[in-house]
Structure 1
Amino acid sequence: MHVDPERPVVRVSQGAQDVDDRGDPVSPDGTDHRLALTFDAFDARHHTLWLRYAHTQVGSRAAAETVVDATCARLLEHWPHVLTQESVARYAWALLKEEVAWWLDDHDRESALVDTAAFHAAVRKLLNHEQRDQFDLLQREIGLYRAIARLPERQYDVVVLRHVLQVPDEEVAEYMGIEVATVRSHVRHARRRLAKDLDVRETEAEE
């Protein structure tokens, strides 16, 4: 999906009142007030997941908040246009990914997925299950996430949303603007690719 690459003037929603960057109310007829309410509702539904995804990519809560705030500013600045899109969730997802890419480029970094999701998943397993070789488990977990990072973009998004962030298939489909069956197809193809990349039997890549 193509979105406007230019970052707009920041506008924020303070409660239900939309204001410009000078703090002056806009549109006294109430149009912007109503638009702000619809944006607030949309943001409330998706904000937490945006933060969780951004965190897997940029590596810290503070940086994730910066990325998501910039995404929200762009959405709110062009909210009437955004509402005309076939899928608002998909459009917002594309903007979020642009902001992540810009942040990583600005800070000369690669995605932090390996350093965040891999570590926490491995630690959870180490704490919850007895393992003969804990070091081997950690190495395999990190290898898996590095392999995920090499997946094609659509497969990568599906795997991160579905398996790293534990988002249901229906919500993954909504974010990506695809059918649930396509989500599951991406998962199957990703599993085959990961099994080949990691040189393991495909059954070991199952949920």
Structure 2
Amino acid sequence: MTTPLEPVPPAEPVPLRPGRKLGPIADGVGSVHRAWLEPLRYTYLKSGLTLSDLSVRVLLAKSKISELLRGTGLYPRWEIILSLSLQLQMPSWPLYRLWRQAAFEAQKSSEWVERSTEKALVTTSQTPPLDHRAFRETVEGDYRLYAQVFLDDDQRDTAVSNTFDILWLRWNEALSSPDIRRFAWYTLRTTVMARTPHIDGRPEFGAAAFDTVALRRLTTDTERLQQVEESLQLFKAMSRLPDQQLDIMVLRQLYGICPEHASALMGVPLATIRSGERHATYFLESVICPSPETEGNTA
């Protein structure tokens, strides 16, 4: 069995600091809110600063900063986030884009968003590090292919854009991880799955059955209908695969990406790709075309 994709832990331990330990992010924090909050928390914890230090520097009570870093209380105004990002030396442009999306996710109005930025300029001229830009140019097309299996065009573009904004904010963390490709793939998967509808905990991507390579090659309506039915059956079975096996099958079977390239994209050994595909294929065959011996044993 292949192991599921997991977040890559920080390369170095978080420095100890005086005072009460910062609590975890609260349950119910939205996916985009969490996308900018996690890098902010990580950078704060790695900085060696205390809540008292930040309180003095941004002129905000320690309790309010603690609430903000846990995602509790009211959704924070941009001017507060900008002040924190300057103290923590974080790029403000990707942070702002994620903050703005999360504000709308939190049901904030356009007027509220505009008021929150009146006293805090947003620097749009910032550019990511050169190696971040080079990495994006290398993988963005493949990331879009992966995302479009689960999301419509607008959601796909947003998810991929968010992925690279998150990576920009966490670039130092990514560079210090055991494998930057694996770190980035986990970020992509987390971002895409946060926007993907789920049924009984399984990702729903049946709409992709209507835009497959096999379907585009057919010429008659009867052939297309049969192919759609087969694809829907396949995708329903694929949704039951473990995370890593599902990703491997998306790359290998839906797009025909070679094992070596899939290995490079996901940041896992080539042997893991081959083993994962073999186990996934065996499972799918047992579900879609069960043998007399296994038919009564499939869930």
Q: Report the Cα distance in structure 2 between the residues aligned to 1:63 and 1:91, rounded to whole angstroms.
A: 22
Q: Report the Cα distance in structure 1 between the residues aligned to 2:157 and 2:224, rounded to whole angstroms.
A: 34
2:167 aligned partner: 75
Displacement after TM superposition at 1:133 (Å)? 6.2
1:29 aligned partner: none
Displacement after TM superposition at 1:156 (Å)? 0.7
2:205 aligned partner: 113
1:52-74 per-position Cα deviation (integer Å, ceiling 9, x unaligned): 1111111x221111111111111
1:104 aligned partner: 196
Task: Give the one of 277, 283, 296 matched to 1:187.
Answer: 277
Q: Report the Cα distance in structure 2 between the residues aligned to 1:174 and 1:111, rounded to whole angstroms.
A: 24
- Structure 2 unpaired stretches of 5+: 1-5, 10-24, 26-33, 37-80, 82-91, 95-120, 292-299
1:205 aligned partner: none
Q: Report the Cα distance in structure 2 between the residues aligned to 1:24 and 1:140, rounded to whole angstroms.
A: 47
2:7 aligned partner: 2
Q: Report the Cα distance in structure 2 between the residues aligned to 1:84 and 1:47, rounded to whole angstroms.
A: 21
Q: Report the Cα distance in structure 1 between the residues aligned to 2:124 and 2:224, rounded to whole angstroms.
A: 58
Task: Give the one of 157, 164, 168 matched to 1:65.
Answer: 157
The secondary structure found in structure 1 opposite 2:256 is: coil
Instruction: Tell me: higher relative CO, structure 1 or 2? Use CA pairs within 8 A at least 6 residues apart.
Output: 2
Instruction: Work out whether 1:11 is the aligned partner of 2:93.
Output: yes
Greater C-alpha radius of gyration = 2
- Conservation of the 8 A alpha-carbon contact between 1:143 and 1:198: yes
Q: Report the Cα distance in structure 2 between the residues aligned to 1:95 and 1:175, rounded to whole angstroms.
A: 12
Displacement after TM superposition at 1:37 (Å)? 1.1
- Conservation of the 8 A alpha-carbon contact between 2:185 and 2:267: no
Displacement after TM superposition at 1:101 (Å)? 2.2
2:205 aligned partner, one-letter code: L
1:45 aligned partner: 138
- Structure 1 unpaired stretches of 5+: 13-20, 27-32, 202-207
TM-score by length of 1: 0.74
For residues 56-205 of structure 1, what are the structure 2 equivalents within 5 Å?
56-58=149-151, 60-104=152-196, 111-116=203-208, 118-121=209-212, 122-127=214-219, 135-200=225-290
Displacement after TM superposition at 1:102 (Å)? 2.0
Q: Report the Cα distance in structure 2 between the residues aligned to 1:40 and 1:99, rounded to whole angstroms.
A: 19
- Conservation of the 8 A alpha-carbon contact between 2:196 and 2:204: no
Q: How many residues align?
A: 181
Percent identity (aligned): 24
- Conservation of the 8 A alpha-carbon contact between 2:249 and 2:280: yes
TM-score by length of 2: 0.53
RMSD: 3.2
